Structure 1
């Protein structure tokens, strides 16, 4: 079973801070989290349900309370380090199977995990766009491979201050370049990205940049409304956001068929029928239509975030930052196991990855939950800072990235 092999290679790096007297295996403990995510439940209920599996005896499964007690022993920094080590094994397998193209497209995004408790309980709980019964969230910035139906999440960092986005991005790019050559970076239109500091951070590293721009400025509104009045499908002009050199960047307007279809009546402003992109690519070399088509590759990451949160992430009401970091990083790791499983299955069956996934998220999670083999994975390997130290310096911590 592919998932069994991948668990044995990666779970050994996930540290639960337990001593040698613990009889419950690490594999069984982590399967409580998997069962919770698979059923959309909290760990207490998932642990109780797992005890009814015929291949578990009494005492083989920890209680949800016992599991979370051990998870809280880790700091954010150690959580990030252990999952970086665990994901390293998956990246190596992907590389051996020629997963990474010569110039890889990546997307950088900030995603929310809604929080419903006391928002003052932790400095990492930040205000967010109001959703169903919430307006606060834990936030994580991620860097993921895009342009494929089977992406990998290369880096996950907790976010405290979105104004420090350039600092996060520099570190994520350094970490990712250990495994692949990055050609182009896609960003969405968030305020943390659409500013001169963040944009120049990408460009200064010699990378192509494509992002969806914000239509709030007078200049951009004039440009897009002018396109609408002239009935242009696409156009561009040199434009510098903030203090950026306008000779190096371009505002690109493109009529959006998708947007037009969404309007039930005439748009409030002519520009509402247009999508605005910002890029350091010259539009004569990469025409607007091609740019728009390329940017659609990034949209898939939104679906991937939903998969992480709804298929791989256990429910939690905890205010503990280390526990939350563990849950989210474990969910992203399971997502990566899913991707690598599909890479291996596609090679085994001779199918092209672009033709769709061989294994669904639900099938993978159920296969792990129902695997009768309780793996004897080493409990606690020696902890190392090597994964981060070579790139960021031994003194790096999440507080430095705030």
Structure 2
């Protein structure tokens, strides 16, 4: 049963084709740049990868939270979350350039000669070594892909059979899955992002990273839901009350991001340890301080003030504008996460950053739209579908 109108399907097909073509071209250009400027380009590739990776891992986390917590708020978004989570298989492939070509270019600890001369790296070598790093890559993506595919399979079975026991299996799988997400997501943040500054560490970093993926996914799926859910069969699930609920989560997530970010800064500032403060010193000079200010204003203050208003959450166009702006700010956040570590003395935005964004983003968007079209956009036999008209009064 398809609820997608022919007009929407035609537009989605065109966007999907364009995204895939742009993605292939972007990756080819990025590959050429790697041959010329390997260090700069692979570092940029990692930032772009983490940005789009956050959409998929966050989709998986939100999907499991929705299954455990229940409620109508995530009903219309569920198939979008499932499609985003299934794109983790693509991201496992897109990580290979980092694994095969970029370890020594990105991570100091991966260079054996340097590691032998650095006592701190030597102490961390039991965890930070190439074989164990590679093994963890397979473990992480294996767990995430299993959860994404298993939940999607259950969802398909629910559409076909409407068996009540499937709801039990959603919860039974999602409960431990959330714990697995917290552990593997936190370790992945240490492996792929925090270990770039190998001498630096923060206990808040994994928490901020994992929550950042959830925030990214929520923002992306608000945009996708508003743009894709057109036609009477789908628009009836996007009532003003439903949009208000999603917008309220959006506002709460932005506030919590600001709380976590400030908490990390406050803890490091208060401790004032020489091995911790360089992280923020590098982000306070050379032009990076302007990026920090833009995050404070654009990632928190501005959307916070706008989303406090009722109409910003209940009217599609208003919520869409805020979400699109925040998609950009999410990239700024990831760029600020690693950019100063790669170029601590001055602000830098290499051309490889743009080409890798287009390359990874094009393939990811094409994969997402393909996955979204593969199943009905609404779980037609979910028991909560009967609650929708009541909720929308």
TM-score bin, normalised by smaller chain: under 0.3
Task: Specify the structure having the higher radius of gyration (Cα).
Answer: 1
Task: Give the TM-score normalised by structure 1.
Answer: 0.26
Task: Give the TM-score normalised by structure 2.
Answer: 0.26
| Structure in which a larger fraction of residues adopt helix | 2
| Structure in which a larger fraction of residues adopt strand | 1
Higher RCO (C-alpha under 8 Å, 6+ residues apart)? 2
